[in-house]
Amino acid sequence: MEPSPYAPGSLPEYLAGRGRERDLIRDNVSRLSMLGRSGGPLLAFHAPRGLGKTSLLRMAQRDAIDDGFLTVWVTGRDDRPMSPDLAQGLSVAVKERSFGERSKALLHRLDQVQVEFGIPGVKVGATLSGDDKAAPGSAVLEELLEDAGRFARNHDAKGLVVFVDEFQEAQLGDRKSLLIGLQHFDGAPEATPVAIVAAGLPSLPPAVTEAATFGERSRFVELGLLSDWSEKLTQRREALDKEHSERIERLKDAEQDLELARIGLSKERAALERRAAEIDAARSVLDEDESAFESEREQIVARARRAADLDGTGRRPHRAGARADRAGGRGRQADPPGALAQ
């Protein structure tokens, strides 16, 4: 048989071979929306480590969120009460759903619980209901579940589903409070849509009955070994998902490179356009200079032609000819009378 694909604490993207267990959880949770009441007695899965208990609960939590339920995840611990962890998880879940001002009172109460029981040795006397002071940590669990369940019902969240991993490790008072709360919710005249789904080691069933004798009415489901085909299917699916993710990453890298190339081309194009504009400006200046030069040349040619035309008419003789004429006149004046006759 192949090794189990469910390493402790792992969360596979695909869950093969646990369809029956997921259906059991869906049926339990569906009571909240169909009947508007609690999910009934505790539904608890138990098995040795490495058989996918945590993975099953995580997948079921995803299913519940997709179906519109308010969900919270807590892990049983014997070294501290569960109430501050539950309050913190509920606070995160409520904020993620973006209820706005409607959740202000509930969030304030959850903050009080975290301060009251989440810091060892610190007590602030937080008031949780009416004028009563905060009860011991374990007893507060029932109040938190009731308040959160009714809040979810009144604000279109169908109900509250609590997932408890390592249930057998929780303190005795916490286990008892969770079981008592479910019993009260199931028989309360006012509907309190809360369901609890737990998982743990094979010691979980006796830990439940130790907390409350009526805990024996809980539904215990033992997780068996996965069949070879289920394990192989899960491993194959995970390999395909990994390959798909790698392809997506490569595609993102290629798109980033393409975008950088586009930016580089845009910059180069802008530089070329600026250079072309500079050349156009220089060409314009050159054209203006050529036009001015041509105009000046035409003016010079015109003046030269006018000067040549005046010389040809004789109306304005050349200065050198005028001087010669004057000199000739002076010579004739020097001849003696009667020279022409001789």
Provide the CATH number for the domain around residue 193: 3.40.50.300
Over residues 313-342, the pLDDT tens digits come to: 555 555 555 555 555 555 555 555 555 444
- The answer to whether 109 and 128 have CB atoms below 8 angstroms apart is yes
In-domain check, residue 130: yes
Over residues 33-47, the pLDDT tens digits come to: 887 777 789 999 999
Helix, strand, or coil (residue 1): coil
Element (H, E) at 45: strand 43-46
In-domain check, residue 50: yes
In-domain check, residue 185: yes
In-domain check, residue 218: yes
Domain that holds residue 187: 19-226
Beta bridge partners of 145: none
Q: Are strands 127-129 and 132-133 parallel, antiparallel or unpaired?
A: antiparallel
In-domain check, residue 30: yes
- The answer to whether 153 and 189 have CB atoms below 8 angstroms apart is no
In-domain check, residue 167: yes
Q: What is the pTM of this model?
A: 0.60
* pLDDT band with cut points at 50, 70 and 90 for residue 107: confident
In-domain check, residue 38: yes
What's the structural domain count of the chain? 1
Q: Which residue has the higher pLDDT, 188 or 332?
A: 188
CB atoms within 10 A of CB 54: 23
